[in-house]
Structure 1
Amino acid sequence: MARKRFANLDDVSHTSSFKELQAWRKERKGKVKDRSFFVGQAANKEIDYLNANRTDTTVTWIGHSTFLLQIGGLNILTDPVWANSMAFERRLSPPGLEIDEIPPINVVLISHSHYDHLHLTSLRKLARYHKFKVLVPEGLRSWMQWRGFRDAVELPWWGSVQVGEVIFDFVPAQHWTRRTLFNTNATHWGGWVLRSKAQAAASDSNDAKSRTIYFAGDSGYFRGFGLIGEKYDIGTALMPIGAYEPEWFMGKQHVTPEEAIQAYIDSGAERFIPMHYGSFPLADDTTKEALDRLRAEWSRRELPEHHLKVLLHGETLRVQG
């Protein structure tokens, strides 16, 4: 039986020719980038508070696309990566929290199977200290179970599952997947919307909106952001802003900072927290370039300054508490 292959919402393909790949490599060698700017570490990491918290909704950036989210009494990790290097490139800044500093994890969310989002070594280290359920995109459950993560649940786009008092919805993104030469797009990709059961029941309230979190995963800009905004009342959007350069090569799979802001607007979210920058040099853009472009576009659009939350590694935002 032929293996199922997944596609994007509008059948947009990421496929690049060998000629294009070679052109990028040549272009990359000719660029001189200043990578002296680093994301800092939070001065006061709220480790004791995070370990004791059972009621407040919080967002803590660990680095790259890894967040500790606390909502509905659950402790949740997104795309856990504690690797010191990725794609032969050393990590730019250390993780904001170490595995032995985080509270007991109930749920791990995986957006897709690329190595900088699904890092098996990090998951296995995590499993030494924590017993958790893993929520994954369609096609990835058996892969996870084969590697020892028996409590894995896979969802299709727009699929939903409840864990404790929290509802998790898997939503579309424009991206692709591959871990070997032979499994391109054999598993799906997407983002996650998190809300407590009580919030879902009172979705017209301001409190419910403020506590709903959208983790976008990896994505190029597409109409799906608007569809997500139509379906959910999102308070906080965790949006990627890095790995976009060169745009002619990366554009279908990674938003630019300007496109990330448009995606945030499309989603109807209140707060914007940038991610997917400052940890690994996966493309030609730098941490400073990504943040400068983000802030310039935010200012150009005259968006409320207090709605943009640029976190340090290990910094915690109390969404409601």
Structure 2
Amino acid sequence: MRKRYTNLDDVDTSKSVRDMIRWQKERNENKKDLRIVIEQAPNKEIEKLVANRSATSITWIGHSTFLIQINGFNILTDPVWAKRMGFQNRLTEPGIELDELPEIDVVFISHGHYDHLDFGTIRRLKGKPTYFVPVGLRRKFQIRGIKHVIEAEWFDSFVFEGMKFSFVPAQHWTKRTLTDTNTSHWGGWILESDEHSIYFVGDTGYFRGFSEIAKKFTIDTVLMPIGAYEPEWFMKESHLTPEDAVKGFLNVAGKIFIPMHYGAYHLADDTGPEALEKLNAEWTRLQLDEHRLKKLLIGETLWL
């Protein structure tokens, strides 16, 4: 019998057929205008990124995909360049084309959902990256001939050529076929160098795990999801509202907040601009330092 993974406190994210029907009825009654999209950065620094071997940078490709350069490594998170997700076309083009990327050294996968794990993209990556994946996913890579794959349980850590990579909990679920629900795990990744730490949160609802993570790690930059939260009665266990994303950021005591997981695919009933509007309103309501919130345009690079 295949192992099925669970959330902290056994929080259940499953939904019934009745829930799905209710959601689809609400969606049909509340059509959203998808013509207003997140902007592309006007000045992309592709040549500088390709040549970079020393500076620390974070470039938002779109959705949950970032190019991170740290300690001389080129790192990708959840690389997805897919033009469609299910029946929906991608709303925004990736910030950098696949063939413009430098050779990739490391790839981090948060979980197996198609908007976070796209083997069509992975087959086209330059270089020979090492893949760090949640426990239960290695076989899906190996059957495709990908050998450099390291599986992780929650709070496993790996020392990798002068850096430390740690897999930490999230509150979510996963599925790629009719029979493999939760047969692999889900979570976030924390990257630590001597100078900087980056927490790639992955996909999650709000949970006590943020406070647990804060007890174990000192975090500088947080890549935090803010989208796919509507309708909240359906999504709240699995996805953060922008308000809860800020709460989670404060729980982990991060220094810089970079929002992600919005604007590329129409996965739920909220839109990218709506998510940003709510994020801005909550940041202002709490009177947080505006310099700690870095809302990247697609393809924009933050140099740290």
| TM-score bracket, shorter-length normalisation | over 0.9
Q: Deviations over 1:110-161 (max 9, x none)?
A: 00000000011011111xx321111100111122111111110001000011
**Which aligned pairs between 1:262-281 and structure 2 lie closer than 5 A?**
262-281=247-266
Paired with 1:71 and 1:162, the residues of 2 have a C-alpha distance of 14
Could you say what secondary structure the match of 2:67 adopts?
strand
Please give the secondary structure, in 2, of the residue aligned with 1:95. Answer: coil
Instruction: Percent identity, please.
Output: 55
**Distance apart, 1:36 and its partner CA:** 2.2
| In structure 2, C-alpha distance between the alignment counterparts of 1:76 and 1:271, rounded to whole Å | 19
**1:119 matched residue in structure 2:** 118
Q: Deviations over 1:63-84 (max 9, x none)?
A: 0000000111111000000011
1:90 counterpart = 2:89: yes
1:142 corresponds in structure 2 to: 139
| Paired residue secondary structure (1:168) | strand
Aligned to 1:257: 242
| Structure 2 counterpart of 1:240, one-letter code | P
The answer for the alignment partner of 2:16 in structure 1 is 17
- Equivalent AA in structure 1 for residue 112 of structure 2: S
Hey, what's the Cα distance between the residues in 2 that align with 1:54 and 1:232? 26
Could you tell me which runs of 5 or more consecutive residues in structure 1 were left unpaired when the two chains were aligned. 200-207
Equivalents in 2 of 1:277, 1:162: separation in Å?
A: 31
Per the alignment, residue 215 of structure 2 pairs with: 230
Query: In the aligned structure 2, how far is the partner of 1:99 from the partner of 1:163?
Result: 25
Structure 1 ranges of 4+ moved more than 3 A: none
Question: How far did 1:288 drift?
Answer: 1.2
Which string of whole-angstrom CA distances, capped at 9 and with x for unpartnered residues, describes residues 256-303 of structure 1?
A: 000000000001100000000010000000111100000000000000
How many Å apart are 1:172 and its aligned residue?
0.2
Q: Which moved more, 1:38-47 or 1:103-112?
A: 38-47
Instruction: Give the 5 Å matches for 1:88-237.
Output: 88-126=87-125, 129-196=126-193, 199=194, 208=195, 211-237=196-222
Question: d(CA) in 1 for partners of 2:252 and 2:28?
Answer: 37
Query: 1:6: which partner in 2?
Result: 5
2: CA distance between counterparts of 1:256 and 1:248? Answer: 11
Please state whether the residue corresponding to 2:30 is helix, strand or coil. coil
Separation of aligned partners in 2, 1:287 and 1:56: 30
**Residue aligned with 2:10, SS:** coil
Alignment match of 1:241 (pick from 226, 250, 256): 226
Deviation at 1:32, TM superposition (A): 2.2
Contact (CA 8 Å) 1:71, 1:195: kept in 2 or not? no
Which residue is equivalent to 2:289? 304
In the alignment, residue 147 of structure 2 is paired with which amino acid? R
37-46 vs 175-184, which moves further: 37-46
Which residue does 1:74 correspond to in 2? 73
**Partners of 1:149 and 1:167 in 2: how far apart?**
23
Whether contact under 8 Å (1:71, 1:166) holds in the other structure is no
Q: 1:162 Cα shift?
A: 2.2
CA distance in 2, matches of 1:102, 1:121: 16
How far off is 1:50 after superposition?
A: 0.8
Q: Which residue identity lines up with residue 234 of structure 1 in the other structure?
A: I
Tell me the secondary structure at the aligned position of residue 10 of structure 1.
helix
Count of residue pairs brought into register by the alignment:
304
Give a deviation string over 1:221-243, Cα, whole Å, max 9, x none. Answer: 00001111121111100000000
Q: Secondary structure at the match of 2:277?
A: helix
| In structure 1, C-alpha distance between the alignment counterparts of 2:206 and 2:39, rounded to whole Å | 28
> Residue 131 of structure 2: SS of its match in structure 1?
strand
For 1:226, the aligned partner's letter is: S
